[in-house]
Amino acid sequence: MEKEFIDLLNQHRGIVYKICRMYCQDSDDRQDLFQEIVLQLWKAYPTFKRESNVSTWMYRIGMNTAISNYRKEKRKQSPTAFSNMLSEIPDPADTHDIPPETATLYKAIDQLSTVEKAIVLLYLEDKSYEEISGILGIGKSNVGVKISRIKGKLEKILKSFTY
């Protein structure tokens, strides 16, 4: 079962790294969050019935974990190591440089609330309003309203970056 989980995680590791990048600026914090998300995915894996897409399941657990950790003042360390196999999952962000435009966008997104960040991440992943609704547990029509407001907010933030 562990091998199957690692294979699944490798196939969809971009989801976990995008969530980590969205909620953590520091690489050590990103690694801590990555490990916490993987731990939560591992705990939930035996009960995953594959009734939804794997990506939807991973986003839901990853986002909930990130938002919970983001709200805590102190992070708790994992009581037991998951496995030494985690080192087999490379961080795509470490393999290439981030273009300046992308870095500016991340800087603007960092100024959003935790829920707004989650919506932006899923929107940028081309998730449908229905998928975003299912992952975040909010109404489909509410997703559209929030995306519209977030776009306006990001536009103002990005304009403030120009000199």
Domain that holds residue 89: 1-95
pTM: 0.59
Give how many domains the chain has, as a whole number: 2
In terms of domains, do 32 and 107 share one?
Answer: no
d(CA 58, CA 135): 9
In terms of domains, do 54 and 121 share one?
Answer: no
In terms of domains, do 90 and 114 share one?
Answer: no
Q: Other C-beta atoms within 10 Å of 112: how many? A: 17
Of 20-29, 73-82, 94-103, 111-120, the range with the lowest mean pLDDT is 73-82
Per the model's pLDDT, the better-predicted residue between 17 and 51 turns out to be: 17
In terms of domains, do 75 and 26 share one?
Answer: yes
- Select from 93, 83, 39 the least CA-distant residue to 65: 39
Question: What pLDDT is recorded for position 151?
Answer: 93
What CATH number is given to the structural domain containing 77?
1.10.1740
What CATH number is given to the structural domain containing 123?
1.10.10.10
